[in-house]
Chains A and B, each alone.
Chain A
Amino acid sequence: MTKTDRQLFLALLLIGVFLFVCSQFFFYQPNPQSRVVIKVSGEIIQTIPLQKGTSQERFIVEGKKGKAIVEIKELKVRMLEAPCPDQICVNQGWIDSPWQTIVCVPNEIVIYLDKEAPVDAITG
């Protein structure tokens, strides 16, 4: 490892840590009023509002490869079952804050949390 290597290593590390801190700072904000957005092949197919005290619910989502099961509990969501070979989306577990995303590449399903527009305030 030359001196330039070490400098490069430190530079990359600093950029990484800086971006990580920034992303946590900008994106991470636990929000009591959020909703789950489920996209298949880039199109939104379902949005589900999340509320405190909601009991466990399961949804079947038809992906490109087959049926996947999405589970919602209180303010968090996870991929319970998926037909993909690597099961990365299932192993990711629960997500609970806006901007967090579960992506299942083989099945082309994206699940993310979004801040909900205050519909109740408008509709009364």
Chain B
Amino acid sequence: MNKTRKLVFFSLFVTLATALGFLETLLPNPFPLPGVKLGLANIVTLLVLYVYGFKEGFAVALLRVIFASLMAGTFLSISFMLSLSGAILSTIMMGLLIRTMSALSIIGVSMVGAVSHNVGQLITASFLIQTPYIFYYLPVLLLAGIPTGLITGYIARLLLCYLKKLKTV
């Protein structure tokens, strides 16, 4: 693949992830639970993991959290730490699954990504806020990750089809 072409597409993916992540904060949350959201930005991370590989996917996840927080003015705040830890854990989990379990489709990987994103956030939250009580909330977040992961997984599968057809990425 042409180096410049890769650079351009990679930048586009980072921009897309940042914009989707930011867009989500502006939309009313369809899930009336604290800490639960659709995770639209995860679609992009997932696509990059599939199209390029782990290194690139991880970079996109990291960069989009930093950019989104700079746009929202929450850089280095607690909510930034929460999204960062969620993004890191979910990208590592998804990357591992893609590499080791080929029986799993993009939808299954997305489900694990969503669930581990929520769990990663909760682990960091319990460290930062220093109450173990927060783990009372773990099953709720775990269950909430399943439908959100399914939805983003289906969207990612649709998009992956088009990206593969294009063959330009």
| Residues of A that sit less than 8 Å from B by CB | 1-5, 8-9, 12-13, 15-17, 19-20, 22-23, 27, 39, 42, 88-89, 91-92, 99-101, 103, 105-106, 108, 110, 112
A23–B139 CB distance below 8 A: yes
| Residues of B that sit less than 8 Å from A by CB | 32, 34-35, 77-79, 82, 101, 103-105, 107-108, 111-112, 115, 125, 128-131, 133-140, 142-143, 145-146, 150
Q: Which residues of B contact A17 (CB under 8 A)?
A: 139, 143
Q: A4-B104, A8-B108 are in contact. Are A99 and B133 (CB under 8 A)?
A: yes
B77–A9 CB distance below 8 A: no
A112–B131 CB distance below 8 A: yes
How many cross-chain pairs have Cβ atoms below 8 Å apart between A and B? Answer: 91
B137–A8 CB distance below 8 A: no
For A20, the closest partner residue in chain B by CB is B139
Q: Please tell me which one of the listed residues A2, A39, A92, A106 contacts residue B105 in the complex, with CB atoms under 8 A apart.
A: A2
16 A-B pairs within 8 Å (CB atoms) are namely A2-B104, A4-B101, A4-B104, A5-B107, A12-B112, A13-B143, A16-B142, A17-B139, A20-B143, A39-B131, A88-B35, A89-B34, A101-B131, A101-B137, A105-B78, A105-B129
